[in-house]
Amino acid sequence: MKPLIIRLFARLSQTLSQFAVAAVVCILLSMALSSATWAAQPATLLVFGDSLSAAYGLKEAQGWVNLLEDKISESELNFKVVNASVSGETSTGGLARLPAMLESYNPDVVIVELGGNDGLRGLPLKSLEKNLRAMVELISRSGAKTLLTGIQIPPNYGVRYTKPFFEIYGNIANSEHLALVPFLIDGIPQQPELMQADGIHPKAEAQHLILENVWPYLEPLLRESAIK
């Protein structure tokens, strides 16, 4: 009788051991698949600007932000691009919209391209700087990195306004230790054939030049964020 009981217990123990091994294997496979799925999730780049980034007067596919998506893909960076730019947006409007954008998209990097409409409307420079700094602070608190893009306005506004306007971007970048695109559309207004009839917005033929202005400052941020 005892040998029979011993054999039964031995078989039971063997069966339980097999089940335990199978369970452990299943758990490990599940963890591996979950890790792989998590690793494959793209980071998010939020482009937060005005008409210069919203492909004003162009087809959306022609805009520099759309070209940026292709550039990121070619560079084998695992990022999705969200373009939250709105034509006519001021820094005040941007500041009001930003919290919802950060909550909705939880970006890793944010390009802030605002202020041009403030300048064109002759709005107070102190308000522009205050709004930009507030946006930078919100982005920092969210854990994302900021790329600030500098803007210049036409010289007919007078040097007493245009010079301090342009300097705001450099001052903020220096004090907040931000990456800065000195002038988003640098090299384009000097070529009238590349500008739309309004003299403010670049044509489709100039969009790749905007990307060339942005990419050297953006790529390091993307690669740094990708590592994390």
Check if 70 is active-site. Answer: no
Check if 198 is active-site. Answer: yes
Name the helix (H) or strand (E) containing 43: strand 43-49
Segments of 50-199 assigned E as strands = 79-83, 109-113, 145-149, 179-181
Catalytic, out of 51, 85, 91, 142:
51
DSSP codes of every residue in 141-170:
HHT-EEEEE-----GGG-HHHHHHHHHHHH
Check if 118 is active-site. Answer: no
In contact, 145 and 222? CB cutoff 8 Å: no
Hey, what amino acid is at 98?
L
Catalytic, out of 50, 53, 201, 225:
201
Name the helix (H) or strand (E) containing 72: helix 64-74
In contact, 148 and 173? CB cutoff 8 Å: yes
Hey, what amino acid is at 109?
V
Secondary structure (3-state) at 104? helix
Task: List residues with catalytic annotation.
Answer: 51, 198, 201
